[in-house]
Amino acid sequence: MPPAFSHRSSRRTFLVASTVGFAGLRFGTPRAAASPAPQVPARRRARSTILFFLCGGASHIDTWDMKPDAPREYRGPFNPIRTSAPDIRLCEHLPCLARHAHHLAVVRSVTDYGRATGDHHAGYYYNLTGHPPDRTFRTMGNDRRPEPTDWPFMGSVVGSRMPVHPSLPQIVTLPHKPSRAPYTRPGQFAARLGVDHDPFYIYGQVDKPLEFTTPALTLQSGVTPSRLAARRELLTSLETSRRNLDDIASVGNFSHTQHKAFSLLGSTSAAQALDIALEPDHTRKRYGETINGMSLLMARRLVEAGVPFVTVFWKENEKLASQCKSAGGWDTHGNNFNCLKDHLLPEFDQGFSALVEDLHGRDLLDETLLLVTSEMGRKPRIGDSRSGGIDGAGRDHWTACMSVLFAGGGIQGGTTVGATDRLAEYPSDRPVGPEDIAKTVYYAMGIKDLQAVDLQGRPFSLLQEGQPLVDLF
């Protein structure tokens, strides 16, 4: 498949431009397709998507695909509870979400078809792009870096196809960029679609959950609007000189980024949308004043302001790393049940249930698609040899099966798709791949055209495989 990038666009340029954070802001109309995409039934499209990605690999068997009749060495100590939807049972440690299950659709049979590698990089890539990882993920594992010829993040595809927001980015990611450099996760960038469609990043910290920073939009102390204008003039002069030395395509990308930066710096609506302090105390408390709860509240503010695609990557708490034999997130190699019960599930339950409730109360749920996913599931049989085996009470990686949640955006709530066997190891009914999940997002957003044109003028499909789960709508 021909890459969308010019052969002169270097990997270093791609990574640097992605780091700047403005490349997700769209500048101009997407390149026209050579042939129309297959038609799908007409329906009212969602206006925005919020993707909540549970970094580390969330345990499906301990959350929304419980197996109470399985042997104890599989099912663990948690029990399912009834919910507001007769066909949905959730973990007992998700009581708030249980009251809103009538808004949820649970897809329980998501599988990698044996195409992933079992490591985090491949899991991110497959579930964020809908494309199976190539052989470099097998040969390099978690050393595989993002490349400009990668397939694009689904959020970048959505942002590139939606009408341009007058004052805000098309695609926003918060509260961090997984994972800590140099192990940046592939799949979260626009890649061959072009760095103009990379996400704009907003950053937060675990110990300062009410403070978000947008370094590229922050004026240093003492910088007045007049000084900002002078800097812009100087930057223009420097750009003109640099064009004689640097690659034209690369400079063009940075030029777009810089011009949009200055526009955003002067935008009152952008500043207001990013100011979570404007929310009343009771709303912040409903979400839970944690970094992940506040990130979900920020996501609601952004879609309310019309941003087409917002991603919340679960922010790990490093204080839990040794306890859970993980990075402090959902990668529970050890002490799985205590980590879930005492930390992960309560924070998720409060924040995500508040998001569903809040969007519904504001009449925004029907036009906002919610997707909860992860890079993999967890091994149903308890015990990971790397953390004490059975006594360590952890769950290893498991890519053969996982679950995802949908809500809003025209989804029929209270429904389930697919099923797993009695041990939650493999799909037993209607296997679904990450490509089908991505296509479902595109379908919900009314995106029919997945054709693009590379810099040599050759058309290619952004995602050929997969079918949308149209019966969810």
Separation of alpha carbons 456 and 161, rounded Å: 21
DSSP secondary structure letters along 171-208: EEEES--SS-TTSPPTTSS-GGG-GGGSPEE-EEETTE
Reduced to 3 states (helix: H, G, I; strand: E, B; else coil), residue 391 is helix
pLDDT grade for 6, boundaries at 50, 70 and 90: very low
Query: Cis bond leading into 179, ω under 30°?
Result: yes
**Domains, the chain, ranges and CATH?**
11-472 (3.40.720.10)
Q: What is the mean pLDDT of residues 76-81?
A: 97
Separation of alpha carbons 179 and 185, rounded Å: 6
Separation of alpha carbons 360 and 362, rounded Å: 5
Tokens of 376: 């993999």
Provide φ and ψ at 52, rounded to 5°: -110, 110
Beta strands at 451-453 and 459-461: parallel, antiparallel or unpaired: antiparallel
Amino acid 353: pLDDT? 98
Tokens of 3: 């890459």
Is there a contact between 4 and 148 (Cβ–Cβ < 8 Å)? no
Separation of alpha carbons 361 and 441, rounded Å: 23
Separation of alpha carbons 376 and 54, rounded Å: 9
pLDDT digits (tens, 9 = 90+) for 248-259: 334 444 445 555
Is there a contact between 368 and 408 (Cβ–Cβ < 8 Å)? yes
| Helix, strand, coil content of the chain in percent (nearest 5) | 40, 15, 45
Tokens of 171: 């695609």
Is there a contact between 354 and 50 (Cβ–Cβ < 8 Å)? no
Separation of alpha carbons 250 and 243, rounded Å: 9
Separation of alpha carbons 254 and 236, rounded Å: 11
Separation of alpha carbons 110 and 248, rounded Å: 43
pLDDT digits (tens, 9 = 90+) for 358-381: 999 999 999 999 999 999 999 999
Separation of alpha carbons 187 and 130, rounded Å: 9
Provide φ and ψ at 345, rounded to 5°: -65, -45
| CA-to-CA separations, 85 to 81, 349, 367, in angstroms, rounded | 11, 17, 21
> Any idea of the CA torsion for 50, 305, 284, 292, to the nearest 10 degrees?
30
Provide φ and ψ at 190, rounded to 5°: -75, -25
Higher-confidence residue: 45 or 239? 45
Task: Give CA angle at 81 (76, 84), nearest 5°.
Answer: 150
Tokens of 147: 């490349």
Separation of alpha carbons 319 and 327, rounded Å: 9
Is there a contact between 192 and 146 (Cβ–Cβ < 8 Å)? no
Q: What pTM does this model have? A: 0.85
Higher-confidence residue: 3 or 425? 425
Is there a contact between 375 and 66 (Cβ–Cβ < 8 Å)? no
Percent of the chain with pLDDT over 90: 73
pLDDT digits (tens, 9 = 90+) for 316-360: 999 999 999 999 999 999 999 999 999 999 999 999 999 999 999
- pLDDT value at 9 more than 80: no
CB atoms within 10 A of CB 281: 8
Q: Which of 96-110, 121-135, 208-222, 427-441 has the lowest mean pLDDT?
A: 208-222
